[in-house]
Structure 1
Amino acid sequence: MPRKEQGWVTFQTSEEERKILEEFCNNSQRTKTEILRELVRGLNKYSSPPVPLPTKEDAHTSEVEIISQKKPLKVSSRNILKGVVKRVVTGSVNTEVTLEIVHKVELTSMITKVSAEELELAEGAEAYAVIKSNDIVIARE
């Protein structure tokens, strides 16, 4: 049950929209709440909605309830360090990403250019260094 200062949002989706959301959640190993909260937070980037909102006629009986409760990133690696992106050097195929973990402690990782774009890595963004064996991968909520 959410705390009093937290809120509930309930809305209807079509069966197709619900399936898309559930498949995305399964593939990304994140909850519906996490995905929808991220989408809502991204709305402040726009002065108007980027796509037309569905009308009542578009919706069917499936409902999604959002409870304001953040869950941690699900990763099998045990060495996860939160940091801030200090540098992003994009090449033709790979991108070099440097995170500052604590003051003057930096980790650098080479990831694909596509991964860096999908993670929307930019200087000042929070991200995670996920250390597995001798590799360091970058993750973001």
Structure 2
Amino acid sequence: MPRKEQGWITFQTSEEERKILEEFCQDSQRTKTEILRELVRGLNKHQAPKTSKPTKKVEKEATQEVPELEMTIQKKPLKVSSRNILKGVVKKVIPGAVNCEVTIEVIHKVELTSMITKTSAEELELAEGQEAYAVIKSNDIVIAKE
């Protein structure tokens, strides 16, 4: 089947851009396809700027990776010492008096469960169907969210 009918997109990048993408993929343990799909899906959340040509300041800011925390606060991406970070989907959140049991499906039929504090689960606003990360350090699995 031709690439056009499969929805393939091919584009050229500089050597520097390619290295940045490959390093990010290695650090996050995700494929280039996963990263690019996530970036494209994120475009729905933001409207294109109305100016026809961005200023130097806007160009510089656009190259920095800064996820939104609130409308007025910008924050750098979370950095952790753990090397095992698995992206998944929250399947269950079972609240208890003090702790919550959180189950994340990282790949089809592979689920990880972690006990976290009820306060942490509330601050992360964990809910079934949301994307989250299982961060594994030694024998612990912690939960993170962008």
TM-score range, shorter chain: 0.5 to 0.7
Residue 128 (str. 1) matches residue 133 (str. 2):
yes
State the partner residue of 1:113: 118
State the partner residue of 2:93: 88
Distance 1:33-1:72 versus aligned 2 partners, 3 A rule: closer
The structure that is helix-richer by fraction is: 2
Percentage of pairs with the same residue: 70
Query: Could you say which structure has the greater relative contact order, defined with CA pairs below 8 angstroms and 6 or more residues apart?
Result: 1
Secondary structure of residue in 2 paired with 1:38: coil
RMSD (CA atoms): 3.2
State the partner residue of 2:37: none
Structure 2 gaps, min length 5 = 1-47, 59-63
Q: Distance in 1 between matches of 2:139 and 2:99?
A: 18
How many Å apart are 1:73 and its aligned residue? Answer: 2.8
Secondary structure of residue in 2 paired with 1:97: strand
How many Å apart are 1:85 and its aligned residue? Answer: 0.2
**One-letter identity of the residue aligned with 1:110:** M
What are the superposed Cα offsets for residues 84-136 of structure 1, whole Å, 9 maximum, x if unpaired?
A: 00000000000000000011110000000000001100001111000001000
**One-letter identity of the residue aligned with 1:87:** K
* Mapping of residues 28-47 of structure 1, within 5 Å: 33-34=66-67, 37-40=68-71
What are the superposed Cα offsets for residues 6-44 of structure 1, whole Å, 9 maximum, x if unpaired?
A: 774xxxxxxxxxxxxxxxxxxxxxx9943xx2313xxxx
CA contact (8 A) 2:103 2:111 kept: yes
The structure that is strand-richer by fraction is: 1
What are the superposed Cα offsets for residues 39-62 of structure 1, whole Å, 9 maximum, x if unpaired?
A: 13xxxxxxxxxxxx9xxxxxxxxx
Which aligned segments of 4 or more residues in structure 1 are displaced greater than 2 angstroms? Answer: 5-8, 31-34, 70-73
State the partner residue of 1:75: 80
Distance 1:94-1:32 versus aligned 2 partners, 3 A rule: same
Q: Distance in 1 between matches of 2:82 and 2:119?
A: 22
Say how many residue pairs are matched: 88
Structure 1 gaps, min length 5 = 9-30, 41-52, 54-63
How many Å apart are 1:75 and its aligned residue? Answer: 0.6
